[in-house]
Amino acid sequence: MRKGRIFTSLITFLAVSFLFFVASPVSAKATGAAPVDAEAMAMAFFPIATHIGAMEGEPPSAAVYQRGRIVGYFLFTRDVVASKGFSGKPFNIALGLALDGTIAGARIIEQHEPILVIGVSAKDLDAFVAQYIGLDIRTPVKVVRTVRNENEVDAVSGATISSVVLSDAIIRSARAVGRVRGVLEGAAIDFDSFTSRDWSSLVDDRSIVSKKISYGRIQAELGSKGASLFPVGASEPEPDALVSEVFVALATPAQIGRNLMGDLEFNSVMGELEDGDQIIFVAGTGLYSFKGTDYRRSGFFDRFQIVQADKTYTVKTSDYRRIDELAVEGPPKLRDKALFILPAATGFDPAKEWRFELIIKGSTPEGRIASAIIPVIYELPEHYRLKSNKTEKTLFGYSLEDMIWVEIWQGRMVDIIIVLAALTCLTIVLFMQDKITMNRHLHSRIRFGFLIFTTVWLGWYAGAQLSVLNVLTFAEALRTGFEWQFFLLEPLVFILWCFVGLTLLFWGRGVYCGWLCPFGAMQELTSKIAKALNLPQLKIPFVINERLWTLKYVVFLLLFAIALGDMTLAQTLSEIEPFKTAVVLHFIRDWRFVIYALLLLSTSLFVERAFCRYLCPLGAALAIPARLRMFEWLRRRWICGTQCAICAGHCPVQAIHPDGHINPNECVNCLNCQVQYFDDQVCPTMVQQRKRREKLAASPAPDLSKIPNPKGEVTP
Partner 1 sequence: MTLTSKTVTRRRMIAISAGFAGLGGAAALNQLRPGSQGMRGQIVIHEWRGIALGAETSIKLAHEDRNEVVAVLSRCRTEIDRLEGIFSLYRPDSEIVRLNADGELKGASIDFERCLEEARRVSIMTDGAFDITVAPLWDLYAQGGTIAERRVDEIRSTIDYRSVHLDPGRIAFERDRMAITLNGIAQGYITDRIAELLREYGYSRSLVSLGEFCALEAPEPGSPWKVGIDEPEMQSQEIALENAALATSSAEGLVFKSSSQVDALRASHLIDPRTGKASPLWEQVSVVAPSAARADALSTGLSFIDKTRWADILSRAGAHFALGRAADGKRFRIVSETRLQH
CA atoms of 477 and 456, how far apart (whole Å): 31
Nearer to partner 1, 365 or 684 (CB): 365
Nearer to partner 1, 309 or 395 (CB): 309
Of 190, 248, 240, 198, residue with least CA distance to 219 = 240
Contacts of 202 (CB under 8 A, 6+ apart): 208, 249, 256, 259, 260, 328
Residues in the chain: 716
Distances (CA, A) of 299 to 40, 206, 314, 323, 362: 44, 31, 10, 19, 22
Q: Per residue in 662-677, is it b (16+ CB within 10 Å) or e — as a string? A: bbbbbbbbbbbbbbbb
Nearer to partner 1, 357 or 546 (CB): 357
CB 523, min distance to partner 1, A: 60
- Near partner 1 by CB under 8 A: residue from 61, 83, 278, 305: 305
Nearer to partner 1, 313 or 515 (CB): 313
- Near partner 1 by CB under 8 A: residue from 366, 382, 392, 703: 366
Q: In angstroms, how far is CA 188 from the centroid of its own chain?
A: 23
Distances (CA, A) of 278 to 193, 254, 431, 503: 16, 12, 69, 62
CB 302, min distance to partner 1, A: 5
> Residues 473 to 492: which contact partner 1 by CB under 8 A?
none
Nearer to partner 1, 393 or 691 (CB): 393
> Residues 164 to 223: which contact partner 1 by CB under 8 A?
223
CA dihedral 585, 591, 593, 598 (to 10 degrees): 90
CB 368, min distance to partner 1, A: 6
Nearer to partner 1, 380 or 618 (CB): 380
- Near partner 1 by CB under 8 A: residue from 57, 107, 154, 295: 295
- Near partner 1 by CB under 8 A: residue from 61, 157, 160, 371: 371
Contacts of 227 (CB under 8 A, 6+ apart): 362, 363, 364, 368, 369, 370
Nearer to partner 1, 299 or 658 (CB): 299
Q: Exposed/middle/buried for 209, CB within 10 Å: 0-12, 13-18, 19+?
A: buried
Q: In angstroms, how far is CA 292 from the centroid of its own chain?
A: 56
- Near partner 1 by CB under 8 A: residue from 307, 446, 488, 538: 307
Is residue 657 within the footprint of partner 1 (CB under 8 A)? Answer: no
Is residue 48 within the footprint of partner 1 (CB under 8 A)? Answer: no
- Near partner 1 by CB under 8 A: residue from 309, 413, 452, 554: 309
Spell out, one character per residue from 213 to 232, where the chain touches partner 1: x when CB under 8 A holds, - when not.
----------xxxx------
Query: With CB under 8 A as the contact rule, which of the stretches 37-45, 267-275, 303-311, 494-502 interacts with partner 1?
Result: 303-311
> Residues 7 to 36: which contact partner 1 by CB under 8 A?
none
CB 298, min distance to partner 1, A: 2
CA atoms of 652 and 672, how far apart (whole Å): 8
> Residues 374 to 393: which contact partner 1 by CB under 8 A?
375, 377
CB 318, min distance to partner 1, A: 11
Query: With CB under 8 A as the contact rule, which of the stretches 133-141, 299-307, 545-553, 664-672 interacts with partner 1?
Result: 299-307
CB 433, min distance to partner 1, A: 55
The DSSP 8-state label assigned to residue 19 in this structure reads H
Which helix (H) or strand (E) is 544 found in, with range? helix 542-565
Strands 142-144, 152-154: pairing kind: parallel
CA atoms of 306 and 337, how far apart (whole Å): 16
Of 471, 470, 487, 468, residue with least CA distance to 574 = 468
The answer to whether 143 and 156 have CB atoms below 8 angstroms apart is no
Nearer to partner 1, 377 or 413 (CB): 377
Q: In angstroms, how far is CA 574 from the centroid of its own chain?
A: 24
> Residues 326 to 365: which contact partner 1 by CB under 8 A?
357, 359, 364
Nearer to partner 1, 201 or 317 (CB): 317
Q: In angstroms, how far is CA 333 from the centroid of its own chain?
A: 56
Nearer to partner 1, 285 or 305 (CB): 305
- 32-40 — which CB contacts under 8 Å span 24+ positions? 32/110, 33/92, 33/109, 33/110, 34/109, 34/110, 36/76, 36/94, 36/109, 38/62, 38/74, 38/76, 38/94
Query: With CB under 8 A as the contact rule, which of the stretches 91-99, 304-312, 439-447, 578-586 interacts with partner 1?
Result: 304-312
- Near partner 1 by CB under 8 A: residue from 240, 294, 329, 632: 294
Q: Is the dihedral of CA 626, 627, 631, 634 positive or negative?
A: positive
CA atoms of 671 and 677, how far apart (whole Å): 10
CB 232, min distance to partner 1, A: 15
Contacts of 671 (CB under 8 A, 6+ apart): 433, 436, 437, 443, 447, 634
- Near partner 1 by CB under 8 A: residue from 311, 479, 661, 692: 311
Cβ count near 19 (within 10 Å): 12
> Residues 672 to 711: which contact partner 1 by CB under 8 A?
none
Is residue 89 within the footprint of partner 1 (CB under 8 A)? Answer: no
Is residue 369 within the footprint of partner 1 (CB under 8 A)? Answer: yes
Contacts of 656 (CB under 8 A, 6+ apart): 641, 645, 647, 648, 662, 663, 673
CB 299, min distance to partner 1, A: 6
Nearer to partner 1, 2 or 297 (CB): 297
CB 372, min distance to partner 1, A: 9
- Near partner 1 by CB under 8 A: residue from 206, 316, 321, 690: 316
- Near partner 1 by CB under 8 A: residue from 19, 33, 40, 373: 373
Q: How many residues bind partner 1 (CB under 8 A)?
A: 33
CB 346, min distance to partner 1, A: 12
Instruction: Collapse the DSSP code of 378 into the 3-class scheme (helix H, G, I; strand E, B; otherwise coil) and give the result.
Output: strand
Nearer to partner 1, 359 or 425 (CB): 359
Cα radius of gyration (the chain): 38
- Near partner 1 by CB under 8 A: residue from 79, 275, 302, 402: 302
Nearer to partner 1, 111 or 371 (CB): 371
Is residue 299 within the footprint of partner 1 (CB under 8 A)? Answer: yes
Residue 56 has, within 13 A of its CA and on its CB side, a CA count of 6
Is residue 324 within the footprint of partner 1 (CB under 8 A)? Answer: no
The DSSP 8-state label assigned to residue 679 in this structure reads -
Q: Per residue in 123-160, is it b (16+ CB within 10 Å) or e — as a string? A: ebbeebbebbbebbbbbebbbeeeeeeeebbebbbbbb
Nearer to partner 1, 9 or 312 (CB): 312
Contacts of 712 (CB under 8 A, 6+ apart): none
Nearer to partner 1, 368 or 479 (CB): 368
Is residue 312 within the footprint of partner 1 (CB under 8 A)? Answer: yes
Strands 51-56, 61-66: pairing kind: antiparallel
Distances (CA, A) of 162 to 87, 268, 473: 9, 48, 13
Query: With CB under 8 A as the contact rule, which of the stretches 233-241, 281-289, 297-305, 583-591 interacts with partner 1?
Result: 297-305
- Near partner 1 by CB under 8 A: residue from 50, 298, 399, 410: 298
CB 355, min distance to partner 1, A: 8
Query: With CB under 8 A as the contact rule, which of the stretches 141-149, 288-296, 343-351, 513-521 interacts with partner 1?
Result: 288-296
Nearer to partner 1, 363 or 467 (CB): 363
Nearer to partner 1, 352 or 445 (CB): 352
Residues lying near partner 1 in the complex (CB under 8 A): 223-226, 292, 294-295, 297-300, 302-305, 307, 309-312, 314, 316, 357, 359, 364, 366, 368-371, 373, 375, 377
